A and B are shown apart, each in its own frame.
Chain A
Amino acid sequence: GENVEQHPSTLSVQEGDSAVIKCTYSDSASNYFPWYKQELGKRPQLIIDIRSNVGEKKDQRIAVTLNKTAKHFSLHITETQPEDSAVYFCAASPPPPLSGGYNKLIFGAGTRLAVHP
């Protein structure tokens, strides 16, 4: 089955710096790669996602890149702010058995990002 590895496990940056989190996946058939942000005691919230037919996607200060050949994808946060501090999870989804939708996500172990003022 699919296996997702995420690095680093912790990341500390100064406010205004960039942060990069990397993930690798094992199943070349996986075709959907979301990123979730989880603050302490709160639900995981989707911040950005990318599909396998796209190499890069941006949303304001957040971008995700996907390299299907190497089976890795990365989250880039620019101009970090203290409110970016949280645990970030990458995930990969193998194609569903039925047409339509994504039936499950396989998550990485998470990266704890600390942004210091």
Chain B
Amino acid sequence: DTGVSQDPRHKITKRGQNVTFRCDPISEHNRLYWYRQTLGQGPEFLTYFQNEAQLEKSRLLSDRFSAERPKGSFSTLEIQRTEQGDSAMYLCASSEDRVGSPLHFGNGTRLTVT
């Protein structure tokens, strides 16, 4: 499967713990996006990278959230001091860097904070 892959698929953690998720985009895709999806809602934009540069961050991304893409390939999303409100599906997507290039989503990481 050469699509977007995310790891882990599920994560259960206790409130206050730190968690880190990984995303491997489609190899030729320069742009990488993180979205968050809660039950019954559409995905909400969090941040995106063009190669290793983080070009935009949503106001939804509090200072407890940090995302990196150090070599312009895979990306990590870290949440520090998790809260119950952080429970959601975290989706990664990638696209080519050209007009009209659609977003391809991964299967997501489902985070449950107890």
Task: Name A residues whose Cβ lies closer than 8 Å to a Cβ of B.
Answer: 4, 6, 32, 34, 36, 42-46, 49, 51, 89, 91, 97-98, 100-110
User: Using Cβ atoms and an 8 Å threshold, which residues of chain B touch A109?
Assistant: 40-42
Choose one: A42, A46, A106, A107; the contact of B104 (CB below 8 Å). Answer: A46
**B14 → chain A closest CB, angstroms:** 24
User: Using Cβ atoms and an 8 Å threshold, which residues of chain B touch A100?
Assistant: 97-99
| Inter-subunit contact B100/A89 (CB<8 Å) | no
Which stretch of B18-26, B80-88, B105-113 is in the interface? B105-113
Q: Does B74 contact A (CB under 8 A)?
A: no
Given A51-B100, A101-B97, does the pair A110, B106 have CB atoms closer than 8 Å? no
Q: List 27 A-B contacts (CB under 8 A).
A: A4-B42, A6-B42, A34-B102, A36-B105, A43-B4, A43-B108, A44-B105, A45-B105, A46-B104, A51-B100, A97-B56, A98-B50, A100-B98, A101-B95, A101-B98, A101-B99, A102-B95, A102-B99, A103-B48, A103-B56, A104-B48, A106-B45, A108-B42, A109-B40, A110-B40, A110-B41, A110-B42
